[in-house]
Structure 1
């Protein structure tokens, strides 16, 4: 098991450009919200060096309640993905296969939500 904090920088590097506004597409998020597990000076410095605003709860100082406003969105999205049995078991040997199943799950979730709206 790899700690989540070790996978933070590869995750930030893996962002694809996001279009939507005029000008050059964004390659990184504007702000990083994280819980107390990511409270480390080296992590904060590296995220700031990349030009991303840091919003990480400090250990022993801040309550994690304020970060919950943003965190529940991510948690609810993850629960939608776990409704697909194939993704909850995660027995795929190749990352490409798991990624393909995640894409299919996202398509199904969007389709179901749009079908509810149009009916």
Structure 2
């Protein structure tokens, strides 16, 4: 079909612009998984799970701001 893969080696740029800020998302998900309650979803109700996600986001932001000051 004329489609060539564009997978770059580690540490080298690939020039397509894709995946430039992917590490931010992966890091944030790793921070969420640091919270034991969010690692495995135990809550059956999604409103409770969403509340814990919001709380975890507040904690992550607080820790990040605390390290900057």
What TM-score, normalized to structure 1?
0.44
Matched, 1:87 2:38: yes
List runs of 5+ in structure 2 lacking aligned partners.
9-13
Give distance in 2, aligned partners of 1:105 and 1:82.
10
Structure number with the higher strand fraction is 1
What is the Cα-based RMSD across aligned positions, in Å?
Answer: 1.7
Tell me the secondary structure at the aligned position of residue 86 of structure 1: helix
Shift of 1:85: 0.5
Moved over 3 A (4+): none
Cα deviation, 1:35-93, whole Å, max 9, x if unaligned, reads xxxxxxxxxxxxxxxxxxxxxxxxx5332555332221111111111110000011110
